[in-house]
Structure 1
Amino acid sequence: MDVDDVAVAPLSGSLLLRMLSYTKPHVKTLTFAFFVLVLATGSNVLGPILIKIFIDHYLVVHNFPIWPLVLLATTYLSLQLMAAFFNFTQLLIFQKVALFIIQQLRVDVFGKVQMLGLSFFDRTPSGLLVSRITNDTESIKDMYVSVLSTFVQNIVLLLGIYVSMFILDVRLALFCLALAPIIVAIMAVYRHFSSRIFHLARHRLSLLNAKLSESLQGMYIVQAMRQEHRLRAEFARINYAYRSARLRNIKFNSLLLRPLIDGLYLCTLILVLGFFGLQSMVERIDLGVLYAFVSYLEQFFEPVNQMMLRLNSFQQAMVSSHRVFHLLDEDDLAPRQAGEGDPQITRGEVRFEDVSFSYDGKTDVLKNISFVAKPGQTVALVGHTGSGKSSIANLLLRFYSVERGRITIDGIDLRTFANAHLRKKVGLVLQDAFIFVGDIRSNIRLGTEKITDQEVVAAAQFVQADAFIQKLAHGYSEPLGERGATLSAGQRQLLAFARTMAHNPQILVLDEATASVDTETEEAIQETLMRMRQGRTTIAIAHRLSTIQDADLILVLHHGEVIERGTHQELLAKEGLYHKMFLLQQGGRVVLKDCLEA
C-alpha cells in the first residue's frame, strides 16, 4: 500500500454521538461534575464584578471604609479559592471518567479483534491493527481527557461571561454576542480543511507501525539476507511521509488557531475601547464597567483560544474514532455455531463430502474433497506446497466457513457445533509452535484453571518434554520470552505437544508437526506422536513421508484435488505422484522392490 493511498471519510456528527454514548454509564458522576463546574464558573465570573464595585464605589470617590473593604477583599479571595477548588474537583472527575471510558473502549476493540475471522487477518497487516488499538485509542483518550472537559468548562464559562456582560451593558453584550457565529465559522473552516490532513497523518502512522512490526518479526531474515539498508530506506521513506503530513498540520494550525483568534481579540478590544471613548465625550462612564468589560473580553477570548487549540486534538480524535469504530463495525467475523442445540463430539469420526473452497472467492484451493477418517484412524495429507493440505485443516477447525460441500463429525454438520466445544475436542499442533510470554507451566495450561499442576506435568511426561524441562534452572516455572526464543525448535514443538495433550482432544490435527525439527529429534518424538494418536482420530499434514507410513489412509493432493489415495504400500505400488515424492526424498537410492518388501 502506498503511503498516500488513503480514503477520507466524512466526519459526521454520528461519530461524536457514538463517542459520547460511552458516557452513559457515568451520567450521575458527570452530572455532579457539571454542577461543580457551574460553581467554579460562577466563582470566576463574579471576580470582575467585585473589582468593578471597588473601583466605582470606593476608588473613584476616594472612599475607603475599612470593614466594607475587608468584606469585599475577603469575598474576592474566597471566590478565587473556591474557583480553584471547584476547578480542580471537576477536572479530576472529568478525567477519571475519561480514563474509565477509554479503558472500556480499548477492551471493546481488543475483544472485537479476537472475534474476527482469519480471512480478516489475511488481508490486514498486524501493525495497522496495533496502531488502531494503541495510537488511535490514545487520541480518543485525549478527546475525553482534555477536549471534552475543556469544551464543557469553557462553554459554561462563556455563558457566565455573557450573562455578566448583559448585566453591565446590554449594547456591548449584544456586540460581543455577534462574535459567537464568527468563532463557530472559524472552527467549521478549520475542521473542513484539516480533515484530510489528519486522515493522512494517521494512515501514515499506521504504515510506520506496520513496517516496524514486520521488520522486528523478520529480523533473522533481515540480517541473514542483508536487507538492513533496504528496510532502512523504506522506513525512512514512510517516516518522511509521516513527518510531511504532520508538518502540514502544524502549518495549518499556525494559521487558523491562536493567531487568528488573537487578531479577532485585538479588533474587538479596539472597538470596545473606542465605544467607551466616544461615550465619554457625551456622558460620564464608569471606570469599573470599563475594567470589567476589558477583563471579561480577556476571559472571553482565553477559553476560545483554549478550544481552538483543542480543535487539533479534537480533529485527531474524530479521525481516530472513525478508524476505531470502523474496526468495531467490521463484519468479517470468525465462523460461529449455526442453529440451536448443543451437539457433542464423542467418537471423532471426520467426514468431508465434496468440499470446495476459495480464499478470494475466485480461485478454488480445494476441489471436491471427499474422505472419511474413522474413530482412531490416521489420515495423512501429502502434496507439494500450495496443494491445499493446510486449507483442509483450516476448514476442519472452522477457521473459515465451508462454502460448498459438507463436513461432519460423528455424522453431525460441523457448523452446528459450538466453537468452544469444537476447539476443545479438536487439538491442533502447527509446524511453527507459538510460545507465549510467561513460563513453561502457563504455556502448557494456556489459562485453563481446570488443568492442575499435576496434569501439566503428566502431559509433559507423556510427550517426553519433562526431561528437558527438569534441566531448566526453574523447571516448569522457567520464564519464557517472546515466541520462546530461548528454546530450540524441538523443545518448542514438544511444549506444543504437551499443550495439546493437556486438553485431551478427541481429534488431532498435526500440521507438519515435525517439519521444523532435526532428524534426531524427529526420531525421538515419533514414539510420542504414536502415543498421542492412539485412540484419537488424526489428520496429519506431512512433509516428510517417513512420518506417515503407518497412516490408515494417505491422500495425495495436487492443485486442490485428491489425485491418489490409499496406504503407503498401495500408493507405492501405483507408481504415481506419491511414489515419485517418496523416491525424491530417499535421494533416488531406494528401489521400489525394496520398498514393497519393507
Structure 2
Amino acid sequence: MAKIKKISADSAYTKRFFYPQESAVEKPFNWKQMARLLNYLKPYMKTLVPLAMAVMLINMIVRLTVPILIGDYVVDRAIADRNTTLLMYLIIGIAVLYLANYIANRYRIKIVNTLGQKTIYDLREELFSHVQRLSHNFFDNRSAGSILVRILNDVNSLQELFTNGIINLLMDMMMLIGIVAILFFLSPQLALAVLVILPVMFYISTKLRRNIRRSWQDVRLQKSRLNSHLNESIQGVRITQSFIQEEENTQYFNGVNANNFEKERLAMKKSAYFGPFVELSNAIGTVILIAYGSHLIINETISVGIFVSFAFYLGMFWEPISRLGQIYNQLLVAMASSERIFEFLDEQPNVDEKDDALPFNDMTGHITFDHVRFSYDDERIALHDISLDIKPGTTVALVGHTGSGKSTIANLISRFYDPTNGRVLIDGQDLRDMKVQSLRSHISVVLQDTFIFSGSIMENIRFGRPEATDEEVMDSAKIVGAHEFIMRLANGYETEVEERGNILSAGERQLLSFARALLANPKILILDEATASIDTEAEMKIQEALKKLLKGRTAIMIAHRLSTIREADNIIVLEHGEILEQGNHNQLIEHEGEYYQLVKSQFEMLDEL
C-alpha cells in the first residue's frame, strides 16, 4: 500500500485549494440565518405545511391519550373492577387510535418528504441561477470543485432538516410540553422526582454545542477541499498521465481523503456523545420512578394506574429528548452548510446593473474606450489610460506579448468586468448604463479553449441561438467550413460529442465554435486566439469563412499568429497595458516598430523550421 502523504496547513495542497472564503469560523448559532432558511418553506405555507401540521397533531394527540386510557381506565377501572365489557371497549378504542396514528404517520412521512424535496429543489435552483449570473472575478477566486460542493453537497445536507428535522422538532417540542404538563397533573411530587436530572442534562448538552458546531464546519470545509482536488485531478488526468504522476496524485488524494475521514469521524464522535447521555438520563429517571413511585403507591398517594401512566410517559419523554439531540446535530450541519450557501447567494456581481438600465435596441457596433484604466487587484494593473475608437463594421486586431492586456480589452467590451477608471462605450452609450443581457445578446465570443457541451453537434451550434431552425444551423456550419467533417461523423449533426467534445479534434471543436458564433448573428464578434488550435489547411478555410463572418460586423481579433490579422483595418500593439503603436499591416511594417519585430521574429522561426 502506498504511504499516505499528510496534508498540513501550509502544504502545497492547502495553498492550491484553501481559500479565505472556505475557512471555518467560530460563530454562535445564527437565528436570523435559521429564519432565512425557513423562509424557503413560504411557498408551501398554505398547502403542504398545514397538512403536515395536521397529521402531526393527530400523532401527538393519539400518543398522549393512550397512556391515560391504559393507566386510568384499563388499570384503575376496568382491571380493578374486573369490568370485562369496559375492558373490551377500551381495547377496541385503543386499537382504533393506533390505527389512526398509523395512517396519520404514513401520510406525515409522505407529506414531509414531498415538502423537503420541493424546498431543496427551490434552493438549489436559486443557488445555481444566482451563481451563473455572478461576475468573472467570483470564479477567478474559487475552484470549480468548491462551487460544486455548495450546489450539491451543501444543499443535500439541508435535505434531512427540511424532510424530517423541522416537523419533528415542532412535534417533539409539543410532545415534551404535553408530557410534562400531564406528569405534573397526575402527580407533581413524582414528576419533580423523575425530571430532576433535566437541569444537569441541559447544562452538559449546552457545553457540547460549540465543539460539535465547529467540528461540522470543519467537515464541510474538508469536503470542499476533497471535491476541489478531485475535480482538478479528473480535469487534468491527461497531464497527470503524460508526466507519469499517477502515483503522486493518488498519494495526494489519499491524504486529502484521510483528512476528510478524520474530520467526519471526530464530528460523528462528538455528536454521538448526546445519545448515550440521554440513555443514562432515562435509566436514572426510571430508577427514581420505580423507587419513589413504589413508595407513593404503598402510601396510597398515587394509584397503580397513575404509576403505569407515568412509566409510559417517561419512556415517551426521553424518546423526543434523544431525537432533539439528533435534530440539533442536523441543525449544526444545516448551519454549517447554509452559511456557505448564503455566502454565495449574498455575493453580488461586480458588474452591477442599474435599476434604470437601458436596452440596446439597434446596435451598430461603434466601440469607444475613453481613458480606460483597469486592474484585477490593487497591485496588478492590466490597462493604463487606454483610449480607442473602433468604427462600426471594422476589424481591429490586438497583438502583443502575454499579459499585455489584449484579453482584458475583450472582457471589458463584453462587460465581464467594469473599468477601474474611465468609460467603455458602444454606440455612445456607457456600458454601465445598459442592460447586460441586451449588450451580450449582440456579442459573440470565440475563445482559443472553446467549450463544447455534452449533447449533439446540432445542439452545440444552436446554443448560440436556441430558436434557430435546423437549416439555419447547417447554413452556419457550411459557411465556416464545418459541414464536411460533421457529415463524415456517424450520425452527422445528431452525433453525440460527449463531455467537452472529446470525440472531436481541437480544430473541429474550434470550427463548431465559429458556427455557434455565426448563428447568433452578432453585431460585435470577439475572436480571442480563435485560430490557434487550427492547422494550416483548416486555417485557409477559416480565412475564407472569416470574410463572410466578419462582413458588416465590428470584430476584435486577438492573435499571436500574425498571419491571421494581415487584413485587419487596424492593428493595435499593446505592451504592459499600454498602446505602443497602431495602424494597418503595411503602415506598421513601414514603421519598423514593435509589430515589425514581432512579424520578423515569427517569419525567422518559420525559416528555421
> What's the TM-score, normalizing by structure 2?
0.92
Which residue of the other structure, out of 229, 234, 237, is the alignment partner of 2:255? Answer: 237
* Distance in 2 between residues matched to 1:347 and 1:590, nearest whole Å: 42
Task: Give yes or no for the alignment of 1:33 onto 2:52.
Answer: yes
Q: CA deviation at 1:50?
A: 2.1
1:135-534 maps to which residues of 2 (within 5 A)? 135-175=153-193, 181-255=199-273, 257-283=274-300, 285-336=302-353, 339-446=356-463, 448-534=465-551
* Distance in 2 between residues matched to 1:489 and 1:302, nearest whole Å: 62
3-state secondary structure, aligned to 2:604: coil
* Distance in 1 between residues matched to 2:464 and 2:382, nearest whole Å: 35
Which residue identity is paired with 2:63? N
Which residue of the other structure, out of 560, 563, 569, is the alignment partner of 2:586? Answer: 569
* Distance in 2 between residues matched to 1:333 and 1:563, nearest whole Å: 30
* Distance in 2 between residues matched to 1:49 and 1:508, nearest whole Å: 79
Which residue of the other structure, out of 43, 60, 66, is the alignment partner of 1:47? Answer: 66
Deviates more, 1:10-19 or 1:118-127: 10-19
* Distance in 1 between residues matched to 2:517 and 2:427, nearest whole Å: 21
* Distance in 1 between residues matched to 2:580 and 2:114, nearest whole Å: 64
Cα distance, 1:411–1:447 mapped onto 2, change above 3 Å: closer
2:462–2:468: 8 Å Cα contact kept in structure 1? yes
Q: CA deviation at 1:201?
A: 1.0
Cα distance, 1:332–1:588 mapped onto 2, change above 3 Å: closer
1:115-154 maps to which residues of 2 (within 5 A)? 115-154=133-172
3-state secondary structure, aligned to 2:45: helix
Cα distance, 1:370–1:247 mapped onto 2, change above 3 Å: same
Cα distance, 1:343–1:28 mapped onto 2, change above 3 Å: closer
* Distance in 2 between residues matched to 1:346 and 1:317, nearest whole Å: 48
Q: CA deviation at 1:132?
A: 0.5
3-state secondary structure, aligned to 1:356: strand
What's the CA shift string for 1:409-430, capped at 9, x where partnerless? Answer: 2222222232222112111111
Cα distance, 1:408–1:285 mapped onto 2, change above 3 Å: closer
Deviates more, 1:383-392 or 1:168-177: 168-177
3-state secondary structure, aligned to 1:391: helix
What's the CA shift string for 1:124-178, capped at 9, x where partnerless? Answer: 1111110011111011111111211221222222233234323422332344566
Task: Give yes or no for the alignment of 1:550 onto 2:570.
Answer: no
Q: Which residue of 2 aligns with 1:110?
A: 128
3-state secondary structure, aligned to 2:37: helix
2:195–2:285: 8 Å Cα contact kept in structure 1? no
1:38–1:156: 8 Å Cα contact kept in structure 2? no
Cα distance, 1:18–1:176 mapped onto 2, change above 3 Å: farther
Deviates more, 1:120-129 or 1:570-579: 570-579
Q: Which residue of 2 aligns with 1:540?
A: 557
3-state secondary structure, aligned to 2:580: strand
Listed as ranges, the gaps of 5+ residues in structure 2 are 1-13
* Distance in 1 between residues matched to 2:473 and 2:368, nearest whole Å: 32
Q: Which residue of 1 aligns with 2:7?
A: none
3-state secondary structure, aligned to 1:476: helix
Q: CA deviation at 1:484?
A: 0.7
Q: Which residue of 2 aligns with 1:101?
A: 119
1:441–1:456: 8 Å Cα contact kept in structure 2? yes
Which residue of the other structure, out of 35, 38, 45, is the alignment partner of 1:20? Answer: 38
* Distance in 1 between residues matched to 2:420 and 2:356, nearest whole Å: 17
Cα distance, 1:512–1:449 mapped onto 2, change above 3 Å: closer
What's the CA shift string for 1:521-555, capped at 9, x where partnerless? Answer: 21221111122111111110011001101111111
Q: Which residue of 1 aligns with 2:29?
A: 11
1:335–1:400: 8 Å Cα contact kept in structure 2? no
Deviates more, 1:384-393 or 1:168-177: 168-177
Q: Could you say what the CA RMSD is over the residues aligned between the two structures, in angstroms?
A: 2.1
Which residue identity is paired with 1:428? V
Listed as ranges, the gaps of 5+ residues in structure 1 are 592-598
* Distance in 2 between residues matched to 1:334 and 1:478, nearest whole Å: 38
Deviates more, 1:229-238 or 1:433-442: 229-238
Q: Which residue of 1 aligns with 2:4?
A: none
Q: CA deviation at 1:64?
A: 4.3
Deviates more, 1:525-534 or 1:306-315: 306-315
3-state secondary structure, aligned to 1:586: helix
Q: CA deviation at 1:114?
A: 1.1
Deviates more, 1:346-355 or 1:331-340: 331-340
Q: CA deviation at 1:179?
A: 5.5
Cα distance, 1:402–1:112 mapped onto 2, change above 3 Å: same
* Distance in 1 between residues matched to 2:501 and 2:61, nearest whole Å: 61
Q: CA deviation at 1:312?
A: 2.1
2:219–2:260: 8 Å Cα contact kept in structure 1? yes
Deviates more, 1:340-349 or 1:133-142: 340-349
Cα distance, 1:208–1:27 mapped onto 2, change above 3 Å: same
What's the CA shift string for 1:483-503, capped at 9, x where partnerless? Answer: 111111111111111111111
Cα distance, 1:247–1:126 mapped onto 2, change above 3 Å: same
Identity across aligned pairs (percent)? 37
Task: Give yes or no for the alignment of 1:77 onto 2:123.
Answer: no
Which residue identity is paired with 1:46? T
Deviates more, 1:498-507 or 1:521-530: 521-530
What's the CA shift string for 1:85-105, capped at 9, x where partnerless? Answer: 112222322221121111111
Which residue identity is paired with 1:367? H
* Distance in 1 between residues matched to 2:507 and 2:270, nearest whole Å: 57
3-state secondary structure, aligned to 1:28: coil
1:549–1:568: 8 Å Cα contact kept in structure 2? yes
3-state secondary structure, aligned to 1:473: coil
Deviates more, 1:551-560 or 1:368-377: 368-377
1:58–1:64: 8 Å Cα contact kept in structure 2? yes
Cα distance, 1:182–1:94 mapped onto 2, change above 3 Å: farther
Cα distance, 1:488–1:390 mapped onto 2, change above 3 Å: same
Q: CA deviation at 1:305?
A: 1.0
* Distance in 1 between residues matched to 2:358 and 2:382, nearest whole Å: 32
Q: CA deviation at 1:436?
A: 1.0
2:297–2:304: 8 Å Cα contact kept in structure 1? no
Cα distance, 1:345–1:391 mapped onto 2, change above 3 Å: farther
Q: Which residue of 1 aligns with 2:79?
A: 59
Q: CA deviation at 1:41?
A: 1.1
Cα distance, 1:481–1:589 mapped onto 2, change above 3 Å: closer
* Distance in 2 between residues matched to 1:343 and 1:283, nearest whole Å: 90
1:335–1:399: 8 Å Cα contact kept in structure 2? no
Q: CA deviation at 1:330?
A: 1.0
Q: Which residue of 2 aligns with 1:88?
A: 106
2:464–2:517: 8 Å Cα contact kept in structure 1? no
Q: CA deviation at 1:338?
A: 7.3
Cα distance, 1:397–1:50 mapped onto 2, change above 3 Å: same
Q: CA deviation at 1:243?
A: 1.4
1:345–1:410: 8 Å Cα contact kept in structure 2? no
Deviates more, 1:347-356 or 1:376-385: 347-356
* Distance in 2 between residues matched to 1:294 and 1:401, nearest whole Å: 70
* Distance in 2 between residues matched to 1:526 and 1:226, nearest whole Å: 39
Task: Give yes or no for the alignment of 1:560 onto 2:580.
Answer: no
3-state secondary structure, aligned to 1:540: strand
3-state secondary structure, aligned to 1:351: strand
Deviates more, 1:13-22 or 1:150-159: 150-159
What's the CA shift string for 1:169-191, capped at 9, x where partnerless? Answer: 23323445665555544443332
